[in-house]
A and B are shown apart, each in its own frame.
Chain A
Amino acid sequence: MIRTLALCAAAAVAAAAHVPPAAAQSKPPAVERDATTAEFEKFRAVLEADNPAELFEANGAELWKTPRGPKNASLERCDLGLGPGVVKGAYVQLPRYFADTGKVMDAEQRIVHCMVTLQGFDAAALARQPFSNETRTPDPVAITTFVAGQSRGMKIAPPQTHPQERATYAIGREIFFYRAGGYDFSCASCHGEDGKRIRTQQLPNFTRADEAIRSYQGWPGYRMTGGVMHTLQWRLWDCFRQQRFPEPGYVSDSLTALLTYLAVNARDQVYKGPGIKR
């Protein structure tokens, strides 16, 4: 009891003193890279030259314009934020607020929404096995890869004009720093400091603008391990698994909030399109 009261008092003091961590800083000192990391980056650049992700982009383009589903409709009237059917530049301007759903949505969440509302697909069925394996790439993954490719070379620019967009960023920031679970990990435990790595995997600091782009860049990504195409929905899901958390829902708002936090931190950095991973 005493311990809990002490904690309460402590928390009251602490809450008063709490200042939310700063968003992306401007011009912090460059992160040092050791020789090992530099070599890995050279290797990655070589891999990017011919990326099997292009095969999935092509599949996604077909799925976009083909009439399918119970309503036998294509996705060509899907509004990704820039107007119905406008795909070019849409990916880098997500997540954003949508008036028709009254909420902020990210790319894959919006694509699934269009598949459900325009084509009549069942949301629960799409959520059942949403991630690729060696023999199957779910349609939303191929379509998201296509949509992402249509923003190749453009600057990350998620809007923060609507109050809900700003509120979603704030929630995403809270989630990013929320330590919980059996290992007391938050996203920041791995991605909140400069110059660290797990084993030989370099850990970008997503609180910095120049490194937050590394959360977006490379996804959707073709993973050579298994030859599978994965989106950020898979990447965040697998992060939470390794954080020893319970399982996040597919295209759920928690993930949208995190994606908003990352995208806003990466604002103005150039997105190079779908990437390739080890």
Chain B
Amino acid sequence: MADPMKIRAKLEGDVLDVRVLMAHPMETGQRKDAAGNLVPLHFIQTITAQLNGKPVFEAETSQAISRNPVFGFKVKGAKAGDKLSITWTDNKGDKRTDETTVGSG
């Protein structure tokens, strides 16, 4: 399985400010390696987030996004103790899920 994400979730009132750093090569399919060969397309295609099992965020992403990307989004209606789970899938069928418990902010 791919390297773990780093999730930061800050609670301000009932709004959860989430920033997640993902480890992924995000190859555009246009880069050439040292030998001059095209490095194949390899990028995160979907990102989803769930709060206590309920979907709160969905994104379809493209290869235009840079390597080791950082995503930020806000979720309304969160509280301390909630479980935030984030999953990405990529075009090679690889997948990664990481979780964090919301602190009291």
Are A and B associated in one complex?
yes
Task: Give me the interface of A with B, judged by CB distance under 8 Å.
Answer: 49-52, 54-55, 58-59, 133-135, 222, 224, 227
The reply on B47 being an interface residue by CB < 8 A is: no
Q: Are A50 and B66 in contact (CB under 8 A)?
A: no
The SS class assigned to the A binding surface is loop
Q: A49 to B6, alpha carbons, bound, how many Å? A: 13
The reply on B83 being an interface residue by CB < 8 A is: no
Q: A53 to B31, alpha carbons, bound, how many Å? A: 22
Q: Are B66 and A55 in contact (CB under 8 A)?
A: no
- A228's nearest neighbour on chain B, judged by CB, is B67
Q: Are A224 and B66 in contact (CB under 8 A)?
A: yes
9 new A-B contacts, CB < 8 A, other than A55-B23, A58-B4, A134-B67, are: A50-B70, A50-B72, A52-B21, A52-B68, A55-B21, A55-B68, A134-B25, A227-B25, A227-B66
Total residues of chain B contacting the partner, CB 8 A = 17
The SS class assigned to the B binding surface is loop
Q: Are B25 and A50 in contact (CB under 8 A)?
A: no
Q: A135 to B32, alpha carbons, bound, how many Å? A: 12
Q: How far is the CB of B32 from chain A (nearest CB, A)?
A: 11
- A47's nearest neighbour on chain B, judged by CB, is B70
Q: Are B25 and A135 in contact (CB under 8 A)?
A: yes
24 A-B contact pairs sorted by A residue (CB < 8 Å) = A49-B19, A50-B8, A50-B72, A52-B21, A52-B23, A52-B67, A52-B70, A54-B21, A55-B3, A55-B6, A55-B21, A55-B23, A55-B68, A58-B3, A58-B4, A59-B3, A134-B25, A134-B31, A135-B33, A224-B66, A227-B25, A227-B26, A227-B67, A227-B68
